[in-house]
């Protein structure tokens, strides 16, 4: 009989949620002006965005969880009697965490490590963790779990509205041709994750008000088609995103819409003023 453990990277924002099943977090690091902070342990989302608003040009960088740290995590699972681990990473197109998870799995023996590239971030990952926990509670085995997780992942879509592309471009997180870059920097683009988990420009929009209107139009359009779940993400703009949530609930009162902050490490790449909406297609 399998005993299955859950591993999730901190970019999911799981620290801000109430998950009623044991899990372990692989934590990324945030470096602010040369000082290193462990995600959530040393710095929370609110604290980080306060720093960024006060000093938008503060030097920022991030560091993913190392292979050695992951090997230690896997061995700790094994020591606790787990036979299997299901690990869910941020999109492999945004971070090397997925590759490190794979590499670390090749360095341990006596435990099976199953790794899913979520091809997404934030609550997209959280939704998969919640689904994973429910399947473990039901007694499903790892082979079936991975098949169902993959199917669920492929029905998740996320759109992102950014105030500035400065942070995404600087950190290489936006997939864009060099010829289009100058144009994009002058507008308020709507972005989305493609089928491979890359963050790409979806539409070029000239003003913030038009970007918000299009954001709402897309969200309502997906609601009309039918969604299994919907979620919103915010940075230093929680009140603005709460307004969006209220408008969507007026449009579809019976819909449950979760809200979650983008973690400091994700926010360091997205920048202040970023928000997003995600949904799971039926």
Tokens in use for 185? Answer: 């920097």
Q: How confident is the model at residue 177 (pLDDT cuts 50, 70, 90)?
A: very low
pLDDT of residue 25: 98
Alpha-carbon span 39 to 18, nearest angstrom: 17
Mean pLDDT of the 43-48 span = 95
* pLDDT tens-digit series, residues 231-243: 999 999 999 999 9
The lowest-confidence range among 120-129, 181-190, 192-201, 256-265 is 181-190
Q: Is residue 206 a part of any domain in this protein?
A: yes
Q: Is residue 252 a part of any domain in this protein?
A: yes
What residue numbers bound the domain in which 113 lies?
4-27+64-153
Q: Is residue 103 a part of any domain in this protein?
A: yes
Alpha-carbon span 65 to 11, nearest angstrom: 11
Considering the domain architecture, whether residues 181 and 262 belong to the same structural domain is answered as yes
* CATH, residue 255: 3.30.1180.10
CB atoms within 10 A of CB 254: 5
Tally the domains of the chain.
2
Residue 153 has pLDDT above 70, yes or no: yes
Q: What is the pTM of this model?
A: 0.91
CA atoms within 13 A on the CB side of 270: 31
Considering the domain architecture, whether residues 186 and 270 belong to the same structural domain is answered as yes
Residue 176 has pLDDT above 60, yes or no: no
Residue 79 three-state SS: helix
Q: Which residue has the tokens 């997180």?
A: 173
Last residue of a domain, one of 103, 123, 153: 153
């Amino acid at each position: 009989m399998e005993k299955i453990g859950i591993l999730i990277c901190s970019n999911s924002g799981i620290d801000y949620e109430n998950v009623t099943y044991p899990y372990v977090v692989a934590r990324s690091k945030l470096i602010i002006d040369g000082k290193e902070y462990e995600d959530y342990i040393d710095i929370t989302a609110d604290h980080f965005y306060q720093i960024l608003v006060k000093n938008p040009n503060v030097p920022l960088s991030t560091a993913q969880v190392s292979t050695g740290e992951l090997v230690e995590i896997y061995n700790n699972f094994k020591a606790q009697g787990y036979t299997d681990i299901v690990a869910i990473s941020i999109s492999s197109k945004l971070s090397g965490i997925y590759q490190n998870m794979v590499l670390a799995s090749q360095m341990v023996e006596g435990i099976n490590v199953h790794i899913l590239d979520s091809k997404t971030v934030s609550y997209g990952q959280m939704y998969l963790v919640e689904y994973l926990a429910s399947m473990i509670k039901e007694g499903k085995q790892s082979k079936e779990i991975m098949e169902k997780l993959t199917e669920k992942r492929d029905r998740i879509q996320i759109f992102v509205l950014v105030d500035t592309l400065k942070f995404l471009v600087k950190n290489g997180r936006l997939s864009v041709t060099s010829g289009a870059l100058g144009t994009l920097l002058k507008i308020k683009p709507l972005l989305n994750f493609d089928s491979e988990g890359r963050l790409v420009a979806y539409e070029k929009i000239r003003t913030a008000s038009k970007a918000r209107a299009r954001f709402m139009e897309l969200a309502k359009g997906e609601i009309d088609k039918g969604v299994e779940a919907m979620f919103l993400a915010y940075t230093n703009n929680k009140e603005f995103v709460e307004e969006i949530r209220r408008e969507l609930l007026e449009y579809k009162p019976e819909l449950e819409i979760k809200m979650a902050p983008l973690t400091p490490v994700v926010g360091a790449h997205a920048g202040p003023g970023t928000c997003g909406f995600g949904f799971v297609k039926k």
